[in-house]
Amino acid sequence: MDEYAIDDQRENKAIAGVIISFLKYEEYALKELYGPRAEKWESISDRQKAMVPRYTKYLENLKDAIEENGKFFRSVAEWAMQSISVGPEEIVQPDDTDMNKTCSLLIQVYREWSTEAVSERHCLNSRLIPIFKALEPSKTNILIPGSGTGRLIVDLSRMGYNCEGNEYSYHMLLVSQYLLNAGLTQGSTIIYPFLHSFSHWKGNDDQLTSVRIPDIEAGSSKKVMGSMSICAGSFVDCYGRNQGTRISSHYTFSQRMQISRAKAENSKDIVITNFFIDTGPNILDYLDTIVHVLKPGGIWCNFGPLLYHFENDHGVETTYEVNPYSGFQDKVNDSTPLMGLELSGDTIIEIATRCLDFEVMQRESGILSGYGRYVGPESCAMPGYMCHFWVLKWSPTGEV
Number of other CB atoms surrounding residue 40 within 10 Å: 11
Burial of 81 (0-12, 13-18, 19+ CB in 10 A): middle
Where b means 16+ CB within 10 Å and e means fewer, 239-250 reads bbbbeebbbbeb
At 177 the pLDDT is: 93
The span from the CA of 60 to the CA of 373, in Å, is 24
Question: Residue ranges of the domains in the chain?
Answer: 112-394
Q: Which of 198, 170, 175, 196 is nearest to 103 (CA)?
A: 196
Order of all β-strands in the sheet with 268-274 = 228-232, 162-167, 141-145, 268-274, 294-304, 385-394, 358-369
At 398, the pLDDT band (50, 70, 90 cuts) reads low
Q: Which residue from 340, 339, 278 is spatially nearest to 303, judged by alpha carbons?
A: 278
What gap in Å lies between CA 167 and CA 144, rounded to an integer?
9
For residues 151 and 114, the answer to whether their CB atoms sit within 8 Å is: no
- Torsion over CA: 266, 270, 273, 278 (sign): positive
| pLDDT given for residue 218 in this prediction | 80
Q: Is the pLDDT of residue 362 over 80?
A: yes
pLDDT at site 43: 96
Tell me, yes or no, if the pTM score tops 0.85: yes
Average pLDDT of the residues in 107-129: 94
- Burial of 117: CB neighbours in 10 Å, binned 0-12, 13-18, 19+: buried
- In this predicted structure, what is the pLDDT of residue 7? 58
Architecture of domain 112-394: 3-Layer(aba) Sandwich (3.40)
Euclidean distance between CA atoms 111 and 149, whole angstroms: 10
- Between β-strands 162-167 and 294-304, what pairing exists: parallel, antiparallel or unpaired? unpaired
**Could you count the other beta carbons within 10 Å of the beta carbon of residue 138?**
11
Share of the chain above pLDDT 70, in %: 92
Quick one: average pLDDT of 282-308?
Answer: 97
From residue 117, alpha-carbon distances to 105, 113, 220 in Å are 15, 8, 21
Q: What are phi and psi of 92, to 5 degrees?
A: -125, 145
Q: What residue type is 244 in one-letter code? A: G
Q: Is the pLDDT of residue 6 over 60?
A: no
Residue 1 has pLDDT above 70, yes or no: no
- Coil, strand or helix at 67: helix
For the chain, what is the mean pLDDT?
A: 90
CA dihedral sign, ordered 34, 97, 143, 231: negative
The β-bridge partners of 118 are: none
119 and 216 in contact (C-beta within 8 Å)?
A: no
What tens digit of pLDDT does each residue of 73-110 get? 999 999 998 876 665 555 678 888 899 999 999 999 99
Report the pLDDT value the prediction gives residue 378, as an integer from 0 to 100: 61
pLDDT-derived band at 220 (thresholds 50, 70, 90) equals low
From CA 153, how far away is CA 180, in angstroms rounded? 10
Please give the Cα distance from 229 to 268 (Å, whole number).
Answer: 14
Q: pLDDT of 226-236, one tens digit each? A: 899 999 999 99
Q: How far is CA 116 from CA 185, 212, 230, 292, 340, in A?
A: 17, 9, 26, 37, 36
| Pure H helices in the chain | 3-23, 25-29, 35-43, 46-51, 55-81, 96-113, 118-132, 151-158, 170-181, 204-207, 235-239, 255-264, 283-293, 345-354
CA 153 – CA 164 distance, rounded (Å): 7
Q: What is the pLDDT of residues 309-343, one digit of tens each?
A: 888 989 999 998 888 777 788 898 988 888 889 99
Question: Residue 391: what are its φ and ψ, rounded to 5°?
Answer: -125, 115
380 pLDDT above the threshold of 70: no
- Provide the pLDDT for residue 95: 86
